[in-house]
Structure 1
Amino acid sequence: MFKRFSINYMVLLFLIDSVMVQMGLAWAIHLRFIIPFGQEVRPEYIPHWMYVPNLSMYISVGLLWAALFLFFSCYTPRRIIFWIDEFQRIVMAHTVAALSLAGLLYLANIPLLRLIFVYFYTLTLVMLLGYRIVLRVWHRLQSNGNTSIARILVVGAGPIGQEIVSEFKRQQWPGIEFVGFVDTALFKQDTHVLGLPVLGKLEDTAEIVRRDHIDEIIVALPREAHTHLANLVARLHELPVRLRIVPDYFDLAYHGATVENLGGIPLIGLRDPAIDGVQRFAKRLLDILVSLITLLITSPLLALVALLIKLEDGGPIFYRAPRVGENGKLFHMLKFRSMVVNADQKLTENVQPEKSASALFHKKPNDPRVTRIGRFLRRTSIDELPQLFNVLRGEMSLVGPRPELPMLVKEYENWQRKRFAVPQGITGWWQINGRSDNPMHLHTDQDLYYIQHYSLWLDLQILWRTIGAVIRGKGAY
């Protein structure tokens, strides 16, 4: 992203990565015969290339890792500004490279000892991530205003500009120095924002660029101030400075916006699927595997619960609740019936007219409509197990915002409808932070947090914490 230091820094990363991969391979081979772990390997069974490593092996491994690291944009500055993005790309590229190596060796009928493969993968990954951590920490400690190579001026000292500066400071990308702001507001002149000076007005930008040797300008103006943009670009046209614009459309976006190029025309995507591509595939695979295994293990329990419900009052075993799913699609969510027959009708007959729909259907402790077996099912969350069939049918996911009643959705404000951008779930961020204690419609912000920070790792964390919440009986009644 930042012209002068980017190439040198990327070349440095590439060279260090190449050395780390070769070191990891050499150490893994030696460790296999030093660490007393696993079965003893007799010399006559050791492949010659492992016992006496040759140059062609190191070249092949180096080329494979270099190609995949380039493919995953591990050396593209704008892709790895933030440490979490950089580390995710390193882990993905290294994992794919290791699996590719194993596959190539298998196809070539070349034996590979499993422990060597494990040592190589682990050691190399630790080294690749470790030295990057050291570089970022070193830069954080050394940042004193004298080590900058890219000097940046931010046009706009409002919330957008402040967020840009704060995010870059959190990430500590090497070589960046924010010189200050310029802004249209007169009251901000000669003040400081986030510890940076407001150096002048928009019409002063060209002079500030020359005086303070600015390398790059980031325009972070609100939409109503974009009328000044054409004049600003005209003033900077002949100056050797890069110009980047942050569009003020984030209040319209459901989650991270995307930028595409169509014949030189930039297209800003505000409403791409929140979970797409590999993440969607991985989430669906997790849903199917966990649901099938859980249903198989709990099948005797499910049969017993069905029998007890039938014996208690002779009513239906399942309760089919209309719910709003992903993208507003209606479906029927399955639960073991935990209330008396016609419980919804009895509730509406005895409710006070002024009660809202949200207050009407929020779970209450000691609800008289709950049956004896129903109290146990609710306390242990066993009544939710039939929703695994909804998951298998693709109507729900294991993790996601809780499906809501259609009549409650009608009361939603527009921002609350963003929760339907992902599959609705059996459990989610909202449930593990209170379960039935919190009405869904009042905690949509927690669902939006899940959507904006989605990852498969977050799903696994929520599933793990759900088990603890169920065991403790937190918020269940």
Structure 2
Amino acid sequence: MTEIWRGESPRRSSQSPIEGTSDSGLPPLRDHAADPVPKRRPSSYRRGLLLTDLAILATTTAFAQLWHIGADSSVQARGPFDISYTALGVVVVTLWWATLHSFRTRDPRIIGDGAEEYRRVARATFLMFGSVAIASLMFKWDMSRGYLAIAFPLGLVGLLIGRRIWRTWLRRRRRLGHHLSNVLVVGGPRSGREMALWFSRHRASGLQVTGVWVPDAQTNHDQWLEVPGQFIPVLGNDRDLLDALRLADADTVIVSDTEHLGPHALRDLTWQLEGLDVDLMVSPNVMDFSGSRIHVRAVEGMPLIHLEEPQYAEAGEWPKSVFDRTFALFAVLAFSPLLVAAAVAVKLTSEGPILYRQRRVGLRGEAFDMLKFRSMRVGADDELATLMAAQGTSDTPLFKVKNDPRITKVGTFLRRYSIDELPQLLNVLRGDMSVVGPRPQVAAEVELYDDRALRRLTVRPGMTGLWQVSGRSDLSWEDSIRLDTYYVENWSMTSDLIILWRTVRAVFGSDGAY
């Protein structure tokens, strides 16, 4: 239940959540000439991108000249104007840098997340390369093709690597609470709370809710919305838009519920934000849909969001099956020395079989024996109930024991780097599992499934998946279900390849592995 606190400071109140009843639209703006909304400060991240791009372009063009032309600065490109390659490099860098700016590759709306930033950098580079090539032909400029063939590909790679490095830095800083945009949610307290919780779980998005404005709420008192670690002011119609922006210290507005604005007030909202350097977004409240399943279409001038059907049917088609078996076969051959070494280590250090077989539930609820290198002492399953009761988790799903005393010394190493899971490649070859998929569950966990969780069983379980690259054993039951159902409903081969790449990083990071 959404909790609302009233007053100048957060205090518990019996007041129920704000219920708006008016359909009159936005409160009129008052005169704020004396205390306007503060302008957004220039981003140090964007300045860093600007300087990094310039340094990369200068370095790559200089390298291309040294590699193909040599250190002699007197060598010239012959044409309508004879120009040295040093001067030509300055011109190319300046125009290239300006092209990146004209393509808005440093736009705050795209930097730091998604593929659009990389696409714009690539398009700007190809346009620049094409323009130089066409200009050299039209004006009969005797320009070294080798120079261009080195400078542009090398420059593009350098730009993309530079963006990637900056993006990694930015995501780490955002997780620490820096470089975040403050968001004013326009809508009800419930949607404001959900959005605040969502952004708190995804700090790398760079957004945090600092205020909720309910423009049709009849109230004369500021109220407060409690979320973990934060009190968020909830403002009513006694505050206008500029009041709400200033109190929330917000540079972004997200409309979560247009019903609170009235039929035409969204248009009025855009007018009121004009010239304020404040971003405006509308949330369609579709949390667990990938971008590939969301399409915007206009029907007689009315924008509508079209949601594609879930993709789990395609996840069971032959392309994924062919990929799984091909990948598993090559992986078995590539890791065969490691498989042999692990088997020998298990056999020599503890009594019992090399492989551990555990009954798991797979496609359409069919049971199969999942294979792993044995990492525990013999009879470990009989001790599980006692250990779960000792740590107070006997009544919770995800039957995991931290600091498990049953694990052998070799087993600790095998688990740390997920070597114990390599025999599951044989499960993939047999068709019991996929390389990427939902987490394979034991029967006791499947018994706890609701209708939503049962969708996990519409595809084969995977050796790895979103659960593996998002925290592994540290995930809660709810997060595990959410990630797996998201994967099932939004499956694509591209997402499988991305998860495989992220798995390599997660394994070497060893987070959540025990």
Relative to the length of structure 1, the TM-score reads 0.50
Q: Which has the higher helix share?
A: 1
Larger relative contact order (CA 8 Å, sep ≥ 6): 2
User: Structure 2-normalised TM-score?
Assistant: 0.47
